[in-house]
């Protein structure tokens, strides 16, 4: 497995993977409006331009992606193909993002599906589940131990 920063011409594949995993694994966290909200985010070229993407590859195949914004202080996208879940790929992607952009604090709006994964990575919920534009999520924060 190879993990590296993605080039701009690879973003479409990363966004397609994100949408596939979002719709497959996050079904109970969004309605029709929520799906449109997610699509309007990933298809917004200005927003996507402001993200830093890292991809995990199995051979030539993109199998996972993490995208951060605000110099690494916020995880915007974090998706692994379901057939690769539980193999430590997300942990490796996360470590790569942190190594390339060390931050003292990191935020994420987690789907219910991903809360256990984020907990393993040191995140803690900062409030109850929220719903915005048809999407359910739990804001979580990770503070790097000093």
Mean pLDDT, residues 79-86: 96
With respect to residue 115, please indicate whether it lies within any of the assigned structural domains. no
With respect to residue 122, please indicate whether it lies within any of the assigned structural domains. no
In whole angstroms, what is the distance from residue 76 CA to residue 53 CA? 10
**26 — pLDDT class (breaks 50, 70, 90):** confident
Mean pLDDT, residues 9-18: 97
With respect to residue 7, please indicate whether it lies within any of the assigned structural domains. yes
How much of the chain exceeds pLDDT 70, in percent? 99
Would you say residue 103 has pLDDT above 70?
yes
Structure tokens at 62: 């993109």
With respect to residue 68, please indicate whether it lies within any of the assigned structural domains. yes
What global pTM score does this model have?
0.94
Mean pLDDT, residues 11-21: 97
Report how many helices (DSSP H) and strands (DSSP E) the chain contains, helices first.
5, 8
In whole angstroms, what is the distance from residue 69 CA to residue 47 CA? 9
Give me the number of domains the chain comprises.
1
With respect to residue 76, please indicate whether it lies within any of the assigned structural domains. yes
With respect to residue 45, please indicate whether it lies within any of the assigned structural domains. yes
The closest of 115, 140, 87, 97 to 25, measured between CA atoms, is 115
Query: Which domain range does residue 64 map to?
Result: 2-102
Would you say residue 32 has pLDDT above 60?
yes
CATH, residue 92? 3.40.630.30
With respect to residue 96, please indicate whether it lies within any of the assigned structural domains. yes
With respect to residue 127, please indicate whether it lies within any of the assigned structural domains. no
CA-based diameter of the chain, in Å?
A: 42
**pLDDT recorded at residue 142:** 96
Would you say residue 146 has pLDDT above 60?
no
Strand pairing class (52-58; 105-110):
unpaired
Would you say residue 145 has pLDDT above 90?
no
């Amino acid at each position: 497995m190879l993990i590296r920063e993605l080039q701009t011409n690879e973003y479409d594949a990363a966004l397609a993977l994100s949408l596939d995993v979002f719709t497959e694994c996050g079904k109970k966290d969004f309605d029709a409006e929520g799906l449109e909200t997610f699509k309007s985010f990933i298809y917004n070229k200005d927003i996507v331009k402001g993200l830093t993407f890292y991809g995990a590859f199995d051979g030539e195949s993109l199998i996972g992606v993490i995208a951060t914004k605000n110099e690494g202080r916020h995880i915007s996208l974090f998706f692994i193909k379901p057939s690769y879940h539980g193999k430590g790929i997300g942990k490796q992607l996360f470590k790569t993002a942190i190594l390339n952009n060390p931050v003292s604090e990191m935020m994420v709006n987690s789907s219910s599906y991903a809360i256990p994964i984020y907990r393993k990575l040191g995140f803690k919920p900062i409030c109850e589940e929220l719903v915005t534009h048809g999407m359910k999520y739990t804001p979580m924060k990770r503070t790097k131990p000093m």
